[in-house]
Structure 1
């Protein structure tokens, strides 16, 4: 079994996604696919990975996590 990881530039546009899918489809050993969350686009941006970590900790403590969810959605749109 092979695990493959695709970063932001590998999934930035439709033709890039097609290339990534072809890489996976052309090798039956590739069973697990990992994709990266977007990084900082500007100096004042927040990394989506950091927001996801905050979300995980907040939801595990059963605190109100809606604010974090809103930040995740706004960072990815």
Structure 2
């Protein structure tokens, strides 16, 4: 990896635009904030924590997409 790339934070790390707050995730999933927190706690929805201590929870876009894939059924007509 290039040290210049690492300094800019683009060396394979998740971009800021790819991380969502709990409220943004609730809006995208069309559910409540407490529901998103339950999904995070149960491990159904992957979470990344930013900062010191417990950190601020952020949900990666790929985690939301994966959750939707697992819990979405497709209706097909014959």
TM-score bin, normalised by smaller chain: under 0.3
Question: Normalising to structure 2: TM-score of the pair?
Answer: 0.25
